[in-house]
Amino acid sequence: MDWSELTPSDWTNIVVYGGFAAIVATSIPGMFRGRVSAGLVNLALWAAILFAVLAGYSYRFELGTVAERVMAVLVPGTVVESGPKEVTVFRRPDGGFTLDASVGPTRLPFTLDTGASSVVLRSEDAARLKIPVRSLAYDVEVMTANGRGLAAEVVLPSLTIGPLTQFDVKALVEKPGALHENLLGMSYLNKLASFTVSNDKLVLRGR
């Protein structure tokens, strides 16, 4: 064997498998002190543990994906990369979809709203983005949960969800107290290749 041809993955396998083999080998003499039947039980237990560890190591990437999906269900807003340029978000218990997005370096929660023609920001979150909310022109009429209101037009340099980044996204900034959550509207969604809602999943696909 040419040891110089071994890859880092090969060395990892050697260390993992060799380590467990050494542990089992050094434990065997102690297993059979006393009754043979007890030693056989201990040996079978070690074999089961070794099998479980090796199986977990062999399927570590698949198990990682499963863990991400479980987290997405348990923690609303968790974005799971479900494919190349594709993310999946699971529905909240109340029926809506909440997802975490980044506007520049700032992470913000958004609620999907396909009825909104634009991304809509709370005034408080717009201020976190260094948008001068006090000097904006609030001259766009909008409908909110509290009735009709006025919002200001802005353009977000970028808005990122998982691996999906869209640039120059039109948005509206609501007046303070007018909105309880940021809305992910069509000004972002229309820039994607597609988005679908099926059962309890929202799937966003980039171009």
Please write the tens of the pLDDT for every residue from 153-195.
Answer: 999 999 999 999 999 999 999 998 888 899 999 999 999 999 9
Contact 86, 203 (CB under 8 A): yes
Cβ neighbors of 162 (< 8 A, separation 6 or more) are 79, 80, 81, 87, 204
Output the pLDDT for position 193.
96
Output the pLDDT for position 34.
55
Ramachandran angles phi, psi of 73, nearest 5°: -75, -40
Q: How many CB atoms lie within 10 A of CB 4?
A: 5
Please write the tens of the pLDDT for every residue from 32-56.
Answer: 555 555 656 666 676 667 666 665 5
How many angstroms separate the CA atoms of 129 and 126, rounded? 5
Structure-token pair, residue 104: 């520049």
Which has the closest alpha carbon to 23: 1, 62, 50?
A: 50
How many angstroms separate the CA atoms of 110 and 102, rounded? 10
Structure-token pair, residue 28: 């065997």
Q: What percent of the chain has pLDDT over 70?
A: 62
Contact 162, 81 (CB under 8 A): yes
How many angstroms separate the CA atoms of 46 and 23, rounded? 9
Does 31 or 45 have the greater pLDDT score? 45
Contact 85, 206 (CB under 8 A): yes
Please write the tens of the pLDDT for every residue from 8-21.
Answer: 555 555 555 566 56
Q: How many CB atoms lie within 10 A of CB 20?
A: 16
